[in-house]
Structure 1
Amino acid sequence: MPTRTNSVRIGFVCVENAGRSQIAAAVAETQLEACGRTDVEITSGGTDPAEKIYPVVVDVMAEKGYDLSSRTPSEITPRELSQCDIVALMGCSLSIDDLPTGVVVRDWGFIDPASSDRKEVWALSTEIEQQVIELLDDLPPQEDREYHRVP
């Protein structure tokens, strides 16, 4: 019996997974929930994860209505990357050449907020929000992604 599949997997990647990719994942998850999309999976990780998310990022995102307080940085593995349909590079040590063939890459190249102040993180998070919304708007409607996988 064929399995009904209708998901697309998006990975947000940066070096420490302590700022940019966490912001992008939170925005994407919130946007997808708001529009009732159940066909998109979000993953986020870093090539060299930090111990915790930058406090200024947590604070700014909380002001914007996103709760990052319980999130922790994690490593993104080559296997996880190979399972993504789309990978958004935030400005990290990965390059397009490091990604599996067939993965759609968005190379956004945002600055690392590690030493940024609140105003700079606010501006950066707004840029990331815009890019994430554009990326999600580019996805085909949920019903157009459905297909039957042959067992």
Structure 2
Amino acid sequence: MPGTTPEVLFVCVHNAGRSQMAAALLDHHAAGRVVVRSAGSKPADQLNPAVVEAMAEIGLDISKEFPKPLTDEAVHAADVVITMGCGDECPYFPGKTYLDWKLDDPAGRGIEAVRPIRDEIDARVRALIAELVPPTTS
């Protein structure tokens, strides 16, 4: 995609945990080189408090974020759609790159259980950036 900024959409069921962490981490690490969105097939009322706490531990404040509904427009706009446990509830459009990240669901779990999920997402996000954005040469 020379000359264009890749767009990534993270999707999970509630958009209250995994997809929110992934979006914040990608936005942070990509530093403007990737357009990032997240959504849920059945958005929750609020973010998982343990997820907010786990992200704050690594210096990322997602406390002002909120679960967003998944729309066809968001999927159409994305170059890469990364699903996390939404199965058949996530729409499929031909021509899009889909990745399914199998991750534990942080719903109803405390900070001790959320940290390893956060760290796994962080490793996957860093690998994704390496694939999407060529290293800058100076």
Gaps of 5+ in 2: none
Q: TM-score, normalised by structure 1?
A: 0.82
Figure out how many residues of one structure are paired with residues of the other and give that number.
Answer: 135
Gaps of 5+ in 1: 144-151
Secondary structure of the corresponding residue to residue 103 of structure 2: coil
Shift of 1:115: 1.6
Structure 1 residue 108 corresponds to structure 2 residue 106: no
Structure 1 residue 27 corresponds to structure 2 residue 21: no
Secondary structure of the corresponding residue to residue 54 of structure 2: helix
State which structure, 1 or 2, has the greater radius of gyration over its C-alpha atoms.
Answer: 1
Structure 1 residue 124 corresponds to structure 2 residue 117: yes
Aligned partner of 1:133 among 116, 121, 126: 126
Q: TM-score, normalised by structure 2?
A: 0.90
Contact 1:47/1:94 (<8 A) preserved: no
Secondary structure of the corresponding residue to residue 75 of structure 1: coil
2:36 corresponds to: 42
Give runs of aligned pairs for residues 1-150 of structure 1, distance below 5 A. Answer: 6-33=4-31, 37-38=32-33, 40-94=34-88, 98-141=91-134
Q: Which moved more, 1:75-84 or 1:51-60?
A: 75-84
Cα RMSD (Å):
1.9
Shift of 1:140: 4.1
Shift of 1:142: 7.6
Aligned-pair identity in percent equals 35
Structure with bigger RCO (C-alpha 8 Å, 6+ apart): 1
Structure 1 78/142 Cα, relative in aligned 2: closer, same or farther at 3 Å? Answer: farther
For 1:83 and 1:20, the matched residues in 2 are separated by 21
